């Protein structure tokens, strides 16, 4: 992977997490203009964050998500991670490193933007909720199933987009993320991306956030393992389906 591709993936993931955690902060934290804006506002905010991130990371193929990288790697119908970027372990790890760096920096940027509101927010759970996902009902097995299903839908449909003449480009992926959040996001907050949760959770752990409480590391494996399994299944199952050829 070239430095240019690495930088593109880093900045695309940075934009995704800056805007994505930003909309959660706007809804969850005390005294913001968007306080109590509701879950649908969060869904649309994440969709638009994906829309922005995909354009920024066009050079890298805009994975922005290690589950997408895994899905593309598993799918034999896809020849490269991006134009000129071979599918191999070294490049997969480079994508993961760029995504992790971008996600941590995006979460730090969100904290800086909302610093005063983090200070004013009395509930540590609301502060953690900006940086990481958490289940409505904690049951690790079923929470894992939810993340697997949501990420399967994400990767499977993204691969369908690549093979069909939709002409919508990044907008299609943005709307897909909104749809997944609105329909499957209720049980776990729909990480559907290891980098959405792990990088910001690391940022939560080291940032000097007033009254932040625990980073809930006991749950942290679910939004990492679930999306990786879901991405792998999405990539494999997509090879079994014949999509119409692009126009």
- pLDDT reading at 26 higher than 60: yes
Q: Residue 86: what are its φ and ψ, rounded to 5°?
A: -70, 150
The 10s digit of each residue's pLDDT in 115-159 is 999 999 999 999 999 999 999 999 999 999 999 999 999 999 998
The fraction of the chain above a pLDDT of 70, given in percent, is: 95
pLDDT number for residue 189 = 93
pLDDT number for residue 242 = 62
pTM listed for this prediction: 0.92
The 10s digit of each residue's pLDDT in 34-84 is 999 999 999 999 999 999 999 999 999 999 999 999 999 998 878 889 999
Q: Residue 216: what are its φ and ψ, rounded to 5°?
A: 55, 55
- For residue 138, the tally of other CB atoms under 10 A from its CB is 13
Mean pLDDT of the chain: 93
**Are the C-beta atoms of 11 and 56 separated by less than 8 Å?**
yes
**Topology given in CATH for the domain delimited by 3-238:** Glycerol uptake facilitator protein (1.20.1080)
Q: Residue 36: what are its φ and ψ, rounded to 5°?
A: 65, 30
The fraction of the chain above a pLDDT of 90, given in percent, is: 87
pLDDT number for residue 93 = 96
pLDDT number for residue 243 = 62
pLDDT number for residue 233 = 96
Q: What is the number of residues in the chain? A: 247
Positive/negative CA dihedral, 12, 50, 145, 123: positive
pLDDT number for residue 247 = 52
Q: Where do the structural domains in the chain lie, given as residue ranges?
A: 3-238
pLDDT number for residue 169 = 78
Look at residues 155, 219, 161 and name the one whose alpha carbon lies nearest to residue 189. 219
């Amino acid at each position: 992977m070239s430095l240019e591709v690495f930088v593109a993936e880093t900045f695309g993931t940075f934009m995704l997490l800056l805007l994505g955690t930003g909309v959660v902060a706007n809804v969850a934290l005390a005294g913001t203009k968007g306080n109590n804006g509701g879950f649908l506002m969060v869904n649309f905010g994440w969709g638009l964050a994906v829309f922005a991130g995909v354009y920024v990371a066009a050079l890298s193929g805009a994975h922005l998500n290690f589950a997408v990288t895994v899905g593309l790697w598993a799918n034999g119908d896809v020849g490269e991670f991006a134009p000129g970027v071979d599918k191999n372990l070294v490049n997969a790890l480079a994508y993961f490193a760029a995504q992790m760096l971008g996600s941590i920096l995006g979460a730090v940027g969100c904290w800086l933007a909302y610093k005063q509101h983090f200070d004013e927010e009395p509930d540590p759970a609301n502060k953690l909720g900006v940086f990481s996902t958490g289940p409505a009902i904690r049951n690790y097995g079923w929470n894992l199933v939810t993340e697997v299903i949501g990420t399967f839908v994400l990767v499977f449909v993204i691969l369908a987009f690549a093979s069909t003449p939709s002409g919508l480009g990044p907008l299609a992926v943005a709307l897909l993320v909104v749809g997944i959040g609105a329909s499957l996001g209720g049980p776990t907050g729909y990480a559907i991306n290891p980098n959405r949760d792990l990088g910001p959770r690391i940022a939560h752990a080291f940032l000097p956030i007033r009254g932040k409480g625990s980073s809930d590391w006991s749950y942290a494996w679910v939004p990492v393992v679930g999306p990786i399994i879901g991405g792998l299944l999405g990539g494999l199952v997509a090879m079994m389906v014949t999509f119409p050829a692009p126009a």
